[in-house]
Amino acid sequence: MPVLQGKLAIVTGAASGIGRAIALRFAREGARVAAFDIADTEGRAAVQEITDRGGQGVYFGCDVTKQDAVVQAFDHVHRQLGPIDILVNCAGIAHVGTVETTSEADFDRVFTVNVKGVYHCLQAGIAAMKGRGGAILNVGSVAANVGIADRFAYSMSKGAVLTMTLSVARDYVTAGIRCNSIAPARVHTPFVDGFLKSNYPGREQDMFEQLARTQPIGRMGEPDEIAALAVFLCSDDAAFITGSNYAVDGGFVSLKM
């Protein structure tokens, strides 16, 4: 039997990249997926792929930076699909820059999406899970654990995701709510392709290979590899795991320190 059979999962940032891979993988493992995003066309396409493959999914347009919108979306999910078992916080944005080159507007934008967005969903998710338990997974980054050049605001935000994970895990362990995080290194997503196209026109392949070589394993990760760990951590097979942060990084942290 699929390991998530009968579970209802909310996945934020489900329209592309890692979030999309998690939504698709969860559906393959039997979960009913509520896909949250602000990219309506891409989000609906992801859900269409789920249903085309025989899975169950519904798209909900939701801006995680707006608390009222998040509360409303969670309420819609509950009324339309039932009690929530799993929450995956994957919605996020990247930013390149040092403390000197990061403007206040840039800093606020990253904080609002990557930190407040997770806070809003954690608050709504905990309220929905209290009294019955559940599993929460926050998508962080290796940037929370090691210094990465030109990632000042992004690292700040992912450090906050890690510590929010630990706090929620501690506060709700006796309520049967587990909370973990995963810390990917570089993963080949549409963001990477867009970044290379914008910053290295004509040199995309060369720069892609250079970035891939920064990881000891010699390549970038694939979104579905991140999704595979997400399935395990949100399944009943991981019932004894909470308050943990898992590197999925091709050895980036442990083999380079």
CA 30 to chain centre: 19
- Local structure of residue 175 (DSSP, 8 states): G
Q: Are 76 and 65 in contact (CB under 8 A)?
A: no
d(CA 15, CA 91): 9
Q: At what angle do helices 67-81 and 117-129 cross, to 10 degrees?
A: 40
Six-digit token pair at 121? Answer: 């969903």
Contacts of residue 62, defined as CB under 8 A and 6 or more positions apart, other chains included, come to: 12, 36, 37, 38, 69, 70, 73
d(CA 34, CA 80): 10
Helices (H), the chain: 17-28, 40-52, 67-81, 104-111, 117-129, 152-171, 190-199, 204-213, 223-234
Cross-strand bridge partners of residue 89:
138
Catalytic: 154? yes
Choosing from 59, 154, 172, 246, the catalytic residue is: 154
Amino acid sitting at position 39:
A
Residue in 23, 107, 123 with CA at minimum distance from that of residue 73: 123
How many other C-beta atoms can be found within 10 angstroms of the C-beta atom of residue 163? Answer: 12
Residues annotated catalytic, as ranges: 154
